[in-house]
Amino acid sequence: MAVAEKRTSPNNLDQNFGGEALTLKPESYVRMVWRRFKRHKLAMAGLYFLLAMYLVAILAPYIATQDYRAVDPPNRLKPPSREHWMGTDHIGRDIFSRVVWGSRVSLSVGFVAAGVAVTVGTVIGAVAGYFGGWVDDVLMRFTEIVMSFPTFFLLLTIISIVERSIFNIMLVIGFTSWPGLARIVRGQFLSLREQEFVMAARALGASDARIIFRHILPNAMAPIIVSATLRIGSAILSESSLSFLGLGVPEPFPSWGSILNTGRTYLRYAPWITTFPGIFIFLTVLAFNYVGDGLRDALDPRLKD
């Protein structure tokens, strides 16, 4: 998580959930959440922004005006113009096209890394919380061990020893940021497994896997969704921090972080190289935070209509 680089801020952003089970029917529940979410204007703005960004990422080949790899040394460090909407970098590559393609790289790094973190965290938390006993002990001790390492340095250490590919970067960011979520999910499971509907399912002879995934997990989704949203943003920031230290997604793939990093040498007289990816990192992370915030409010059962 990027916050690791900003001193440990207590991660309780994720934790303000009541332990109450959400036993409403899925459809009406989703509709209710959506209605509440819509009231949060900034969250809606964030959502629209993110949808637009994902669209850009998907349609990158059609939106980019030039080949993001094409170097054109005589036209290096040119300010934004009609031909190069965001200017060119130190070897004359078109920043606009790189930012467009970079959205693909950055968003997928964020998405996959968060996906890995959420999957690992959810599975470990769910299994620990559901089975309890020694399983819980072992898994939670392991979680605590991983959690105890200084996150950003653990990330740096591992990144510096694995082969640096975009895939590894996603995995490593994901694998170093799951423990917080595992704890939350475990907490949810601990309280949910005692609920009547779980008892009922068990009495009907449902398997453990079925109970975990069909009965309890849907009811524990709220904090997972919020956490996943926030985590995508922080994974994007993590990647850009790694890029700053020269350990991010390697060339020739442009990530917003790596474009920003190449431009830092030229910050003073070619500020457009850093400005545009910087703004996109900033806006995207901001949008994820607002969406997360909106989701939290919308999903919080204590906030009645």
Partner 1 sequence: MYRKLASLVAVILTIAVFVTGCGSGTGQGKEGTGEKPTKGGQIVYGMTGDPVIFNPILATDTPSAFINERVYSGLVRANEKLELIPNLAEKWEFSDDGLVWTFHLKKNVYWHDGTKFTSADVKFTYEAIKHPDYTGVRRTDFKPITKIEAPDDYTVKLYLDKPYAPLLSKLTIGIIPKHIFESTPIAKMKENPANMNPIGTGPYKFKEWQKGQYILLEANDKYFEEGPYIEKVIVKFYQDEQVMLAALEKGDIDYMGSIPADEIARMEEKYSDRFVFKELPTNGYDYIGLKQTNPIFKDKRVRQALMYGLNREQIVKDVLKGYGTVMNANIPPVSWAYAGDVLNQYPYNPEKAKQLLEEAGWKPGPDGIRVKDGQRLSFKVLTASGNKEREAALLIAQQNWKEIGVEAIPEYIEWSVLCSQYLDVAKFESYLLGWSLGLDPDCYLFFHSSAAVDEKGQLVGFNDVEFKNADLDQLLEQGRTEMNQEKRKEIYVKVQKIINEELPYVFLFTRNRVSAMNKKIQGVVWSTLGPLFPEKWYIKQ
Partner 2 sequence: MLNYVVRRLLQMIPLLIGISIINFTIMHLAPGDPVLLLSERNATPEELARIRALYGLDEPIHVQYVKWLGHVLKGDFGRSFVDGRPVMDHILERLPYTLYLNFIVMIIIYLVAIPVGVISALRQYSKFDHAVTFFTFLGQALPSFWFALLLIYAVGIKSNWLPIAGVATIGVNVKTSGLWATILDRAKYLILPVTVVSLGSMAGIARYMRSSMLEVIRQDYVRTARAKGLPEKAVIIKHALRNALLPIVTLLGFELPALFSGTAIIETIFSWPGLGLLSMRAIFQRDYQIVMAMNMIGATLMVLGNFLADILYVIVDPRIKYS
| First and final C-alpha spacing in the chain | 34
**DSSP-based three-state secondary structure for 88:** strand
Task: Record the tokens describing residue 222, joined without a space.
Answer: 């709220």
42 binds partner 1, rule: CB under 8 A: no
250 binds partner 1, rule: CB under 8 A: yes
Q: Find tokens 């700053």 and name the residue.
A: 244
Task: Record the tokens describing residue 95, joined without a space.
Answer: 């920043």
Helix axes 272-299, 256-263, angle to 10 degrees: 150
Supply the DSSP string of 237-276, one letter for each residue. Answer: HHHHHHHHTT-SSPTTS--HHHHHHHHGGGTTT-THHHHH
- Toward partner 2, which CB reaches closer, 97 or 176? 176
Q: Which of 52, 55, 58, 245 binds partner 2 (CB under 8 A)?
A: 245
For residue 201, count CB atoms less than 10 angstroms from its CB and return exposed for 0-12, middle for 13-18, buried for 19 or more.
Answer: middle
- Toward partner 2, which CB reaches closer, 122 or 243? 243
Q: Which of 152, 189, 272, 276 binds partner 2 (CB under 8 A)?
A: 152
Site for partner 1 in 265-304 (CB under 8 A): 265-269
**Which H/E stretch holds residue 111?**
helix 95-131
- Residue 148 has, within 13 A of its CA and on its CB side, a CA count of 6
Q: Which of 32, 63, 69, 131 binds partner 1 (CB under 8 A)?
A: 69
**Minimum CB–partner distance for residue 227 and partner 1 (Å):** 31
Site for partner 1 in 146-185 (CB under 8 A): 160, 163-164
- Toward partner 2, which CB reaches closer, 70 or 267? 267
Q: Which of 2, 33, 114, 226 binds partner 2 (CB under 8 A)?
A: 2
DSSP code at position 94: B
145 binds partner 2, rule: CB under 8 A: yes
Task: Record the tokens describing residue 103, joined without a space.
Answer: 């959205």
Query: Is residue 242 within 8 Å of residue 304, measured between CB atoms?
Result: no
- Toward partner 1, which CB reaches closer, 181 or 270? 270
CA distance 158 to 84: 38
Interface characters, 5-44, with partner 2 (x: CB under 8 A): xxxxxx-xx--x-------------------------x--
71: partner contacted, choices partner 2, partner 1, none (Cβ within 5-8 A by kind): partner 1
The identity of residue 4, as a single letter, is A
Q: Find tokens 């930012």 and name the residue.
A: 99
Interface characters, 179-218, with partner 1 (x: CB under 8 A): ----------------------------------------
**Minimum CB–partner distance for residue 284 and partner 2 (Å):** 8
90: partner contacted, choices partner 2, partner 1, none (Cβ within 5-8 A by kind): partner 1
Residue 83, Cβ neighbours under 10 Å: how many?
13
DSSP code at position 170: H
Contact residues for partner 1, defined by CB under 8 A? 69-71, 73-74, 76-77, 90-92, 160, 163-164, 246-247, 250-252, 262, 264-269
Contact residues for partner 2, defined by CB under 8 A? 2-3, 5-10, 12-13, 16, 42, 141-142, 144-150, 152-154, 156-158, 160-161, 233, 237, 240-241, 244-245, 257, 260, 264, 267-268, 274, 278, 281-286, 289-290, 293
